[in-house]
Structure 1
């Protein structure tokens, strides 16, 4: 992480990796391990030209004044307040992963820099680093330096076998103080902070500003994480440090080295977690899987996946929740044909999907559309007043002519619908996984769900064009 002043509750990013198959007691000393590993860790200095608008304006000399010649830095063209530029520097950490000079660090350490220099553990001249590639989603960057001799390096371990309570070692450049070692244990695993692909190891090993991009080692001396972030009210370590797990980082690094960019698999669905009410509404015996809320043009649509399906298995791996599915798809090879097990209308079925590339889909997003409705009179159901889509309603809600569904006019604040987040202006597209175009369609679908013995019913709701499923309890 860059060495700069932090705001209240600083969140600073780092990545780490761990390998430990069995529990060990506390070592008598970390000295041998630190001595062996430190040469593979580097200090990173970045610099960037920034505008000087935040600098105080200096007095202006009259044009042609001798002061311009005598004191050009103060009174010359470059010394007149906001027109000046200055070079800003920042510090971070990294580690060497190959003898030929590939270095891993955090993306935020080098982001926006026009000059990156590397300081090796044994001193010597600073080395200029070339940026090979970055991945903002995991906050990882890959650099390359040229050296006169092979460089000491370290390898990635298997972070998945690390355990809460295992000893770990962090090495880096905290607060610009140069090479420094801290030790602690793994406090928690599989932490998520804010990213789609987050898989952080939490540690109480001291991590401070400047440690960003440095390695987190296990007691075997392999990297199990990249130190990326801290949570702190002061900006300093309070024992809440986070390292991106090596099993995420190593895959990103392989792709950056080969392609200069990431290439993640793309299934082409919008999903949400399954809760108890949703599981009951669709007939699942347990709370698991990822509920498909929308299917735009893409691999999933071509394979026959529909909104309302619950994905239970992806490429041979059980899906427990949306986070697990996103990571599994992202780690899958672009163009690979995978088997996806879905739950639909009380039965499971297997579909084959040829994965696309997520980065391509993000550059060319697809906007889903739904069809033309019939307009009918207002109606009360489940604490909501519903209406068909007249031209007036469409205008009020900003809906296109090709949108189909039933609009929510009001929601009783004492109802289950209000508690589950339903609000005036929402559009109900499906009830019980059946399309609805009029309020009477809603009441018929509710009656069908009750007759089938359901305790709750699933509604597909759109707000500002974004779909989500809501499970509402049926009246006894």
Structure 2
């Protein structure tokens, strides 16, 4: 029953009236202490935010979506009776919505946001701090990570600095910046509550950062930054009882994943998933005992497809993959993400345990 009361919500704000657009600030991002003492003796985050918030913009989207229709319109007999030709497009309507985005490359005008913010977009407008409104072009999006990349042409842009999200720790200060409910730019604070969350996107490539910094509808695509004002994630979703507002469980796509997806989209306009050609399973205590491993860690290879990149590299059934390029492969989901987000054509090094011996194998990732 409790599970039924919970709903995962992407935090995009859909508006019936034209979107209420907030403002951003202006300045140059730079590492700064988490808190500083203001001239009046007040402990504050304001100096850091003055440098960071210019990179967070408000996004207004005009999108075309399918209009609600009677289910009978999907019945072929009904359609034939009323003279509706097979395959005829169903009625559509135009909706307005608002979200957030983060400028990550001022020179090229690149903005990271969420895919669901700009899905089916016919027109995308970006509002900056100085109240300029500029049109944006969608370069591409990725359903597997919920990341989209926009591009604008404007002078005087400021970009946020990427952090290495792999080094983010549970307990680190986190600051969420976005446009909740179309109110305008809003800042909330909290901590990183957990890392490595998955299961939010069906068949997705997930490694979400969880934070208790309040994230609400409209924050989608906004920035999650650390105490130095560096980007550690793109705010994406919230978990809330009964589809309500924030209860302190929000999720952000780690900046390392967002950056990898962006690089592929900018180069090719799309994201190609890497694969090895193997069937894998997480090592549990029973498997570890059967293999004589000291700990239940890594991913066991159950099958290797003939002619696959894995076979060409010498990977064998029974091998246990424990790391990719030095990054631990703690589960089958992690290994799938590591390979899936590796650029097709790149060569990765697999750290493998084979019959109690450590083996390093170089594999060329295929698409």
| Shared fold (TM-score, shorter chain, > 0.5) | yes
1:165 maps to which residue? 171
2:162–2:230 Cα contact (<8 Å) kept: yes
2:260: which partner in 1?
A: 251
Greater Cα offset, 293-302 or 20-29: 20-29
Partner of 1:217: 225
Aligned runs of 1:25-40 on 2, under 5 Å?
A: 28-40=43-55
8 A Cα contact 1:20 1:161, kept in partner: no
Within the alignment, does 1:93 sit opposite 2:100 as a pair?
yes
RMSD, matched Cα: 3.0
1:296 aligned to 305, 314, 324, which one?
A: 305
Contact 2:350 2:363 in 1 (8 A): no
Deviation at 1:97, TM superposition (A): 1.5
Q: Using the alignment, how far apart are the partners of 2:272 and 2:253 within structure 1?
A: 19
Q: Shift in Å at residue 315 of structure 1? A: 3.9
Counterparts in 2 of 1:36 and 1:320: CA distance versus 1, 3 Å: closer
- Rg larger in structure: 1
Q: Counterparts of 1:262 and 1:83 in 2: how far apart (Å)? A: 30
Map of 2:61 onto structure 1: 46
How far apart, in 1, do the equivalents of 2:130 and 2:256 lie? 29
* CA distance in 2: counterparts of 1:226 and 1:287, whole angstroms: 32
**Paired residue for 1:231?**
239
Measured in 1, the distance between the counterparts of 2:137 and 2:66 equals 24
Match of 1:270 among 257, 275, 279: 279
> Which of 333, 347, 350 matches 1:340?
350
Instruction: Classify 1:225/1:312 alpha carbon distance in 2 versus 1 (closer, same or farther; 3 Å).
Output: closer
Conserved in 1, the CA contact under 8 Å of 2:217 and 2:245? yes
Q: Tell me what 2:159 maps to.
A: 153
Distance 1:314 1:103, change over 3 A: closer
d(CA) in 2 for partners of 1:347, 1:164: 33
Per the alignment, residue 415 of structure 1 pairs with none
CA contact (8 A) 1:53 1:83 kept: no
SS at match of 1:301: helix
In 1, Cα distance between equivalents of 2:101 and 2:324: 35
Closer, same or farther in 2 for the Cα pair 1:315/1:38, shift >3 Å? closer
Write the distance in 2 (CA, Å) between the matches of 1:117 and 1:204: 29
CA drift at 1:21: 12
The Cα of 1:40 is off from its aligned counterpart by 1.7
Task: Using structure 1 for the length normalisation, give the TM-score.
Answer: 0.60
Q: Deviations over 1:42-86 (max 9, x none)?
A: 11111223444459xxxxxxxxxxxxxxxxxxxxxxxxxx98653
Q: Residues 20, 201 of structure 1: CA spacing in aligned structure 2 closer, same or farther, 3 A cutoff?
A: farther
Between 1 and 2, higher relative CO (CA 8 Å, sep ≥ 6) is seen in: 2
1:354 alignment counterpart:
363
1:178-193 mapped onto 2 (5 Å cutoff): 178-193=184-199
Counterpart among 79, 103, 109 of residue 111 in structure 2? 103
Determine the structure 2 residue equivalent to 1:307: 317
Task: Tell me: CA distance 1:274–1:31, structure 2 relative to 1, closer, same or farther (3 Å).
Answer: same
Unaligned runs of 5+ in 2: 12-29, 71-88
Structure 1: runs of 5 or more not aligned: 1-6, 56-81, 361-476
Matched residue of 1:302: which SS?
A: helix
Over 3 Å counting, the alpha-carbon distance change for 1:350 and 1:22 in structure 2 is: farther
Name 1:74's counterpart in structure 2.
none
Cα drift, residue 194 of structure 1: 3.2
Task: Assess if the C-alpha contact under 8 Å between 2:63 and 2:119 holds in 1.
Answer: no
Q: Which residue among 207, 210, 215 is the counterpart of 1:202? A: 210
CA distance 1:180–1:321, shift in 2 (3 Å): same
Measured against aligned partners, the alpha-carbon deviations of 1:421-476 in whole angstroms (never above 9, x if no partner) come to xxxxxxxxxxxxxxxxxxxxxxxxxxxxxxxxxxxxxxxxxxxxxxxxxxxxxxxx
Seen in structure 2, the aligned counterparts of structure 1 residues 89 and 165 have a Cα distance that, compared at 3 Å, is same
Contact 1:21 1:161 in 2 (8 A): no
Paired with 1:201 and 1:113, the residues of 2 have a C-alpha distance of 27
The answer (yes or no) to whether the contact 1:215–1:227 under 8 Å persists in 2 is: yes
User: What is the TM-score when the length of structure 2 is the normalising length?
Assistant: 0.77
The Cα shift of 1:340 comes to: 3.5
Q: 1:324 is matched with which residue: 317, 334, 357?
A: 334
Q: Is the 8 A contact 2:223 2:234 kept in 1?
A: yes
Structure 1 residue corresponding to 2:139, chosen from 124, 132, 142: 132
Q: Relative to 1, partners in 2 of residues 1:87 and 1:231: Cα closer, same or farther, differing over 3 Å?
A: same
- 1:330, CA displacement in angstroms? 3.5
Distance in 2, Cα, partners of 1:270 & 1:214: 36
